[in-house]
Amino acid sequence: MNALARASQRGNEMAESSPFDARGDFIAGEFAPVTRESGCIALEDPGDLSRDLGQFPFSHDSVDVAVAAARRAYPGWRDTSAERRAEVLLRFKRQIEEQAETLATVISTEVGKPLWEARTEVRAMQAKIDITLNEGMSPIREYAFEIGAGQHARCRAHPRGVIGVLGPFNFPGHLTHGHVAPALATGNTVVIKPSERTPAVGQLYAELALRAGFPAGVFNLIQGDGEQGAMLARHPDLDAVLFTGSYRVGRSLLEATIDQPSKLVVLEMGGKNGALVCEDADLDAAAAQIVYGATITTGQRCSATSRVIVSEKVADALAERLASRLARIRIGYATDPEVFMGPLISRESVARHRELLGQAAGEAECIVRGGPVEGPRAGYYVRPSLHRLHRRSDSAYQTDEHFVPDLAMLSVRSLDEGITALDATPYGLVASVFSRDRSIFERVYREVRVGLLNWNTSTVGASSRLPFGGVKRSGNAQPAGVLSSVYCTYPVASTEFELASAEIEQPGFPRKT
């Protein structure tokens, strides 16, 4: 049975089963139930804890098996033409389109994000294929030039080989796919380990890859916990690790691979993102954009707004507008079409939010009290919070990424002081500037170290047609987005002579006898 026939048969099986029924790991073109269990993921709906979504067992043995399958498949996929690889990826896109509502529903259920937001994530996954195959290939386009008669120089992008992808929970489809699509398009094979919070999304993603007809071993996915991810990252037969997640975990991956200097480790990490609001800003618009950036996905975005640096001349007026917006955020279960903010992902996240509020109490005035709140069902619901800082400091509250919906507002007396405060963070992912004066925006570009800088709009909502990545603790100079194809390949430079020369014109070098 060929790949497409197997895909069709598997598609019929999909229709008859629940996406939350564990099917095991997807290795070498098929699902295989876990036989020697190392652990089990108890899957929960963070917005409705009364629901039992099932169990996803995993095995550490799967790491070796999956990497070996990807290694076997690599030469064939590497040597497949770019056009043929694109055909399979476009079939993958069609599968995502056909199963868009199912995929959005599973994302919404596992993450707790509103269904409307999960649908936008799925649309971004579809668009990623087209962007990868078009704009994404431009940065690695082959080029050549003549250096003499019958002599040429050329540079081509070579796939890295077997790539491990460690996915996050907050965008379990889009951010994982953002690594996988360019990796496959450029001729690599992949082993994916989805977040332990979102195993069903990962499983469905593998189902769609199967239906697309990738050759066996090109696309592999294993379930597991954080240790499973670390084992995959350390694997000696892996050529690269692509990670999206926290600074703490990213740092541990670097430590785990320190004795493998040839292995590329791409780290897309967190942010402590600030919005600078100048005295000439449109305060209503600034408040809307800041609250949106702080509360979408319940604050669980690396690009979420968590700091507001505002001119003291308009600080009171902005605080009033922020408080009004935050108080009217609609919180509830994911399928309610009127809900903007769902629950946090876990009990640990709720505890972190509570701890954060305790930290803030000693160094800020509470404007909007946040923390756990009763939702429409038993779940990890919280209200967003707003604090007005007494002064800037290097405290954990003001410098750490917390991944919860909280805003800390700091008043400044001058633009100089505001720019200094905006840059005073160990992270460097996104910043926003609210001002009618473009020259202020351009000055922030020169003086503040971030990978993304926005003018009069939120810190969230990056375009896949642009690079995405930060500096300092936010990344390690390997931006994703449209530049993902760059880290999925390495350049090979060639000097090519149609005829070799026996004569080398250098002092002291022997002539032909």
Catalytically active residues are: 268, 302
Sheet holding 305-311, edge to edge: 364-368, 385-389, 406-412, 305-311, 273-277, 430-434, 452-455
User: What's the longest Cα–Cα distance across the chain?
Assistant: 92
Round to whole Å and give the CA distance between 196 and 491: 35
Judge contact between 179 and 165, C-beta under 8 A. Answer: yes
Q: Which pair of structure tokens corresponds to residue 273?
A: 């993102």
Judge contact between 90 and 84, C-beta under 8 A. Answer: no
Round to whole Å and give the CA distance between 189 and 489: 12
Alpha carbon 161 to its chain's center: 21
Classify residue 174 as left (phi > 0), alpha (psi -120 to 50) or beta.
alpha
DSSP-derived 3-state class of residue 189 = strand
Q: Where are the beta strands (DSSP E) in 322-464?
A: 364-368, 371-372, 382-383, 385-389, 406-412, 427-428, 430-434, 452-455
In terms of Cα–Cα distance, which of 159, 158, 161 is closest to 237? Answer: 161
Amino acid identity, residue 181? A
Classify residue 249 as left (phi > 0), alpha (psi -120 to 50) or beta.
alpha
Round to whole Å and give the CA distance between 60 and 79: 31
Round to whole Å and give the CA distance between 26 and 405: 35
DSSP-derived 3-state class of residue 401 = coil
Q: Which pair of structure tokens corresponds to residue 185?
A: 């398009």
Q: How many other C-beta atoms are found inside a 10 Å radius of the C-beta of residue 5?
A: 10
DSSP-assigned letters across all residues of 119-153: HHHHHHHHHHHHHHHTGGGGGG--EEEEEETTEEE
Alpha carbon 296 to its chain's center: 15
Amino acid identity, residue 17? S
